[in-house]
Amino acid sequence: MTAERATPAIRKKKTSSVALKLLMAVTGILLVLFLFAHMAGNLKIFVGAESFDHYAHWLRDLGAPALPHEWFLWIQRGGLTVAVLGHMFAAAVLARRARRARPVRYAHRAKVQGSYAARTMRWGGVIIVLFVIFHILDLTTGTVNPVGDHEHPYANVVADFAPGRWYVTLFYALAIVAVGFHLRHGIFSAARTLGQQGRRGERIARAVALVLSTVLVAGYLSVPFAVLTGLVK
Ligand code: HEM
């Protein structure tokens, strides 16, 4: 009788944990899609100022004439905000449940407990959020950018990573590496949530996660380093 009563409660909690993991995976995938699209757009800087600025202006009129000026950007901003909040909410609830399931901390926490990426998910996430806030003040509103000209994003980026502002480049580089680690573990976890099973599947998911996060980090880092070395000026 007791066991019968306990079953629905346990099942309910388990189902919602799966739903939360699914929420993490789906919001994570949306954010990864944005990250790749944004990285590809950034690489236009190697084509030249005109191409890069044209691309930024085109983004503002994407969907025209069906969508009025900047609507696409606002829809994207809304979608990204909901995805980030959903991702953080699911992460916080799942972490709390995991702590409750094991209220006593491990006396000897094994040194090699999961990969480095797995152990830094929470702080990696915090660094990324802080970076995005700085990044918006820097390259969207132009508040902390030396040029800060909404019409000329190429000039903003070049001014941003000038050698004298090495600390900005360093902050960007650290944040991008944090994104890389976060993504490596995130893609692997999402694959597991979405049904990847078995040793072979796990090996493939690990390799795909490593390749995708390395490509992303290299693509993003190439821009500040190209400016720093004078390749883009
Ligand atoms: C060196 C690397 C990066 C460069 C050069 C760069 C460049 C830019 C530029 C120029 C804009 C403004 C576009 C415009 O004028 O409309 C922008 C916006 C943005 N970037 Fe980046 N970005 C970089 C890395 C990142 C990373 C790693 C993230 C996320 C973790 C990110 C997230 C965003 C977001 C959310 C926006 C706001 C888009 C909006 O205005 O709605 N960026 N970026």
Give 49-87 pLDDT, tens digit per residue. 999 999 999 999 999 999 999 999 999 999 999 999 999
State the distance from the centre of ligand 1 to the C-alpha of 42, rounded, in angstroms. Answer: 8
The pLDDT confidence band at residue 7, using thresholds 50, 70 and 90, is low
The pLDDT confidence band at residue 195, using thresholds 50, 70 and 90, is confident
Q: Ligand 1 pocket: which of 58, 77, 139, 150 to mutate (most atoms <8 Å of CB)?
A: 139
Tokens of 52: 């890069």
How many percent of the chain have pLDDT more than 70? 86
* Structure confidence at residue 114 (pLDDT): 60
Q: How far apart are CA 189 and CA 185, in angstroms?
A: 6
State the distance from the centre of ligand 1 to the C-alpha of 195, rounded, in angstroms. Answer: 32
Closest approach atom of ligand 1 to CA 223: 1
> Which residues are near ligand 1 (CB < 6 Å)?
38, 42, 56, 59, 73, 77, 80, 128, 132, 135-136, 139-140, 153, 157, 172, 176, 179, 220, 223-224
Q: How far apart are CA 140 and CA 70, in angstroms?
A: 13
Whether pLDDT at 12 is above 60: no
The burial class, CB within 10 Å (0-12 / 13-18 / 19+), for 90 is buried
- Cα Rg of the chain, angstroms: 21
How many beta carbons lie within 10 A of that of residue 157, not counting itself? 22
Over residues 176-194, mean pLDDT: 92
The pLDDT confidence band at residue 4, using thresholds 50, 70 and 90, is very low
Whether pLDDT at 1 is above 50: no
Protein residue whose Cα sits closest to atom 4 of ligand 1: 42
Whether pLDDT at 2 is above 60: no
State the distance from the centre of ligand 1 to the C-alpha of 142, rounded, in angstroms. Answer: 12
Closest approach atom of ligand 1 to CA 76: 41
- pLDDT, tens digit, 9 for 90 and up, residues 94-151: 988 888 886 666 565 555 456 666 678 888 999 999 999 999 999 999 999 999 999 9
- Cα distances (angstroms) measured from residue 120 to each of 50, 65, 113, 224: 39, 44, 11, 25
How many beta carbons lie within 10 A of that of residue 185, not counting itself? 20
Which of 167, 164, 163, 212 is closest to 186 using CA atoms?
A: 212
Closest approach atom of ligand 1 to CA 128: 30
- pLDDT, tens digit, 9 for 90 and up, residues 202-227: 999 999 999 999 999 999 999 999 99
Q: What is the pTM of this model?
A: 0.89
